[in-house]
Amino acid sequence: MPPTPQRDLSAPTIVIGAGPHGLAAAALLNRSGEPTVILERSDRVGASWAQRYDHLRLHTTPSTSKLPGLSLPRQAGPWVSRDDYVRYLERYVAHHRLDVRVTTPVDRIERAEPGSGAQWLVHTSDGQVPTGAVVVATGRCHTPNLPRWPGRSTFTGTLLHSAHYHSPAPTAGGTSWSSAPVTAAPRSRASWPGPEPGGYGSQSEPHPTSCPAPAHDGMRSAD
C-alpha cells in the first residue's frame, strides 16, 4: 500500500497504530462521519503480523477473525495464513479508503492548551498534531518479554523468543530453547523437525501473541 503523499496530519481524530484494531477503529469512525488519520511507525500496515513466523495460521475462524465491514476471502481457507492475513489488512485499507500515514512514529501525547481549539497534541517525527480525540491502538504484541530464567547466562544453545522465530532451519542439529506466549509456543514447537527432539524445548508466557480481532459491531460485511 503506497503511503499518503501529503504530510498534513491534522484530523478530528487520530488513531495510533495500523494494526487490525487501529484499522477497524478508523473504519468505524469514518463510517460515523468522523474524519480520521492513522499514524503508523513502521513502513506498512499490519507490520507486527508480517514479522511473525513463516508458518503462522490464525487459530480462529474467518468469521471471527474478520474486521468490521469486510469479510476474509474464501480463498484463504478455514485457517488463514500470516501472508493472507496481511494482504487482507492491506485490502481493508483500500476498501474503506483509510488515511494511513506510515513511517510516522508518535513520541508522546499531551493535553492541548485551553482555548487552542484542540483537546490533544500528538507529538510525531513531523511535529505536533492538534486533534480532538486520540485512539491508541498500538497493540500488546509488539514488545517481546523474555523471562530471566536461572541459568540463562550459562546456556550455550540458541535462546530466542517466538517473536524472532521464523523457521526451524537456523537451529537444525543444535540445542535450542524457545520463549513464547501460550498460544505461540505449541505452534512454534510443532514446526521443529522430528517428533519432539530432546535438544529442543519451549516455555510459555502468559501473554498472547495471536491477538483477537475487534468484535463485529453490526457493520455489514462485504465479500
The predicted model gives 137-160 an average pLDDT of: 81
Q: How far apart are CA 102 and CA 13, in angstroms?
A: 16
Q: What is the pLDDT of residue 152?
A: 83
Q: How far apart are CA 135 and CA 154, in angstroms?
A: 44
Q: How many CB atoms lie within 10 A of CB 67?
A: 24
Residue 212 has pLDDT above 60, yes or no: no
The predicted model gives 32-57 an average pLDDT of: 90
Q: What is the pLDDT of residue 38?
A: 97
0.75 surpassed by pTM: no
Cβ atoms 222, 88 nearer than 8 A: no
Residue 31 has pLDDT above 60, yes or no: yes
- Delimit the domains of the chain by residue range: 13-136, 152-205
Q: What is the pLDDT of residue 210?
A: 38
Cβ atoms 190, 172 nearer than 8 A: no
Q: How far apart are CA 86 and CA 47, in angstroms?
A: 8
Nearest to residue 37, comparing CAs of 66, 65, 17? Answer: 17
Q: What is the pLDDT of residue 9?
A: 66
Q: Name the CATH superfamily housing domain 13-136.
A: FAD/NAD(P)-binding domain (3.50.50.60)
Q: Where are the beta strands (DSSP E) in the chain?
A: 13-16, 36-39, 99-101, 106-111, 120-124, 127-131, 133-136, 158-161, 176-181, 200-205
Task: Give the confidence band of 23 by pLDDT, cuts at 50, 70, 90.
Answer: very high
Task: Give the confidence band of 172 by pLDDT, cuts at 50, 70, 90.
Answer: low
